[in-house]
Amino acid sequence: MLKIANHYVSKVVCLLLLVEIAILFCAGYLGINIRLMGERHWYANFSNYFPSACVFAAAIIIGMSAVGMYQRNFNENIRTTFLLLVPSFAIALLVLVMIFYFAPKLYLGRGILLLALVLAGLGILIARAVFFKLVESRVLVSQILFLGTSDLVRDCIDTARHNIRNHKYDIVGAIPVVGEDSTVMPGEIIHSADTLFATAGQYNAREIVVAVQNRRGGSLRIQELLECKLKGVHVIDAATFFEREACQIRLDCLQPSWLVFSDGFDQSLMRTFMKRSFDILISAIMLPLLAPVMLGAMFCIWLEDRGPVLYRQERVGKNSKTFLVLKFRSMRTDAEKAGTPQWASSNDPRITRVGNIMRKFRIDELPQLFNVLKGEMSFVGPRPERPFFVKQFGEEILFYNVRHSVKPGITGWAQVRYKYGASKDDAIQKLQYDLYYVKNNSLFLDILILIDTLNVVLFGAGT
């Protein structure tokens, strides 16, 4: 895994991305070349289209990212890739239309675009076919060894085996420690009298994950772990493993000292300035573009039951300060006539017909753009909760209030990685993603979340 601006990114995905960027640029370059071939001084004219080829490649990458083509199971087949290329190219064309409108000098004609898209599609399909063959082979497999045999190790092994979007691991096994109950399969336990370094060398393991829950009584084998690290074997703890592989900070293996001494948690003036500038820029762009959608939603809400269009609700923001969040009303006007706050549930009868459509495509959240402009929210951040639930979870869930150290957002890491939450267990799962964002937040991660949000909106994930 690579760490870019504090965010973990798969080396395999980065390699695929770089290859496909090169393919897309060449497709745009050749599309222009073929279309202009035969014209007088065509090569001189073509050299002026270099920026357009770059824009073409960038638009396709945005479209492919928006439909999740860099987050999917890389054991999929070519047919699935082709079916995903269709909506990704449609999104890319919309992006290109907007770019051409604001920058006419980058304009590419319909003939050039058609040729470039055909070449791009063929190039992507060939590249993915080769990539899938590599995934099926053992070229991209890494050997990994675990120290410990507790429930925590069981979770680590499950994550390593099933999180194949990032990497493929060959689980060497788990080495038991004194005084710890075993919950892993007997066939996964390694009984060896050798040192950890010798055991790692025997199984060709290049990484050891320390997942020992009880670290007293010498069970951690510090000297042997130090030997491994000094001799080139990578050593990490379970908390770092989950942060890297699952992009979340697991509460069940988290020590307060880990949060204190680990890197991240950037709250510098530069980061604050960049985030605020980013929020204002995105909101200023989105408001005029989405104005017709917002006006249409307002009319439909009023037409359905003649009730109020906007809904104001108290939420908890940065530093636990409360504010009124704006939303389009998606429930009946008497949704909480009992006076007790409650979550929306699946097929909630309080949701109106218009509200159901708005929630599916997140249209009900659009008025929060004004909260962003006022500085009460950010475009990206943990979703703000109601004071009633914040008080409850703050008392019951460890580190829950850490999420209030940054501004809440219209969308967030938990929203694009986890389904809609309506229980305490869901709140814990989403908190683990929120903690990852608070620790590793950056402009780079914000952009990734916005692209993933488009995927959520298009396919209705997380609703």
> Both 216 and 327 in a single domain?
no
If you count DSSP H runs as helices and E runs as strands, how many of each does the chain have, helices first?
A: 17, 10
Phi-psi map region of 217: left, alpha, beta (phi>0 left; psi -120 to 50 alpha):
left
Residue at 93 is within a domain? yes
Question: Within this chain, do residues 123 and 153 fall inside the same structural domain, yes or no?
Answer: no
The answer to whether residue 87 is domain-embedded is: yes
410, 291: one domain = yes
In one-letter notation, the amino acid at residue 25 is F
One domain, residues 6 and 109? yes
- pTM (predicted TM-score): 0.87
Per-residue pLDDT of the chain (463 residues; tens, 9 = 90+): 788 888 888 888 888 999 999 999 999 988 887 877 755 555 545 567 788 899 999 999 999 998 888 875 666 678 889 999 999 999 999 999 989 988 998 888 888 899 999 999 999 999 999 888 877 776 678 899 999 998 999 999 998 887 655 567 888 999 998 878 888 888 889 988 889 999 999 999 999 999 987 766 666 789 999 999 999 999 999 999 999 988 999 998 888 788 888 888 888 889 999 999 999 999 988 999 899 999 999 999 999 988 899 999 999 999 999 999 999 999 988 777 666 777 776 677 888 999 999 988 889 999 999 999 999 999 999 999 999 999 999 999 989 999 999 999 999 999 998 877 667 888 999 999 999 999 999 999 999 999 888 888 877 655 4
| Domain-embedded: residue 28 | yes
Q: Please check whether residues 189 and 116 belong to one and the same domain.
A: no
- The answer to whether position 259 is within a domain reads no
Instruction: Examine residue 305 and state whether it is found in any structural domain, yes or no.
Output: yes
Residues 239, 322 within the same domain: no
Q: Do 372 and 289 share a structural domain?
A: yes
The residue out of 136, 166, 181 marking a domain boundary is 136
CB 106 within 8 A of CB 97: no
pLDDT of residue 339: 65
What's the helix, strand, coil split of the chain in %, to 5? 55, 10, 30
Residue 130 and residue 157 in one domain: no
Q: Are residues 417 and 399 in the same domain?
A: yes
Backbone angles phi, psi at 261, to 5 degrees: -95, -10
Q: Are residues 146 and 122 in the same domain?
A: no
Q: Which domain holds residue 159?
A: 141-246
**180 with 203, same domain?**
yes
Structural domain includes residue 340 = no
pLDDT at residue 296, as a whole number: 96
455 φ, ψ (degrees, to nearest 5): -65, -40
Indicate if 152 and 114 belong to the same structural domain: no
Residue that terminates a domain, selected from 114, 136, 158: 136
**How much is the pLDDT for 216?**
67
Tell me, yes or no, whether 287 lies in a domain. yes
* Tally of domains within the chain: 3
For residue 379, the surrounding DSSP H or E stretch is strand 378-380
Confidence at residue 41, expressed as pLDDT on a 0 to 100 scale: 52
Final residue of a structural domain among 136, 161, 183: 136
Q: Domain for residue 254, yes or no?
A: no
Residue 125's pLDDT is: 95
- The two tokens of residue 274 are 């960049």
